Amino acid sequence: MAKKTIMLVCSAGMSTSLLVTKMQKAADAQGLDADIFAVSASDADNNLESKPVDVLLLGPQVRFMKGDFEKRLAPKGIPLEVINMADYGMMNGEKVLQQALNLIGNNE
């Protein structure tokens, strides 16, 4: 199975780093080859240009940026969603990983 690249965007890229660690553990446990990383909203465009991103998840604190990101991602065909607030608050890496995989269309 091809490697999945999952980009998380939050206001500073800090709070989401713990979630990235938990998502990576969940991916490893499932035998999934995944590149999961977090960036600040201001750094998102640079990463979208330099990496082949399969899905973008927004932290709940930047949900107001969803419309803006939708416009930028639509031509690239990259799915986008806001991370579930409860899953984010609980740092539930498994559920957030599943949310990303569902958006990619991969339920293996």
Catalytically active residues are 10
Decide if 7 contacts 37 (C-beta within 8 A): yes
Q: Which stretches within 36-92 are classed as H helix? A: 44-50, 66-73, 85-89
How many CA atoms lie within 13 Å of 24's alpha carbon, on the beta-carbon side?
Answer: 13
In whole angstroms, give the CA distance from residue 15 to residue 78. Answer: 23
Bridge partner list, 38: 8
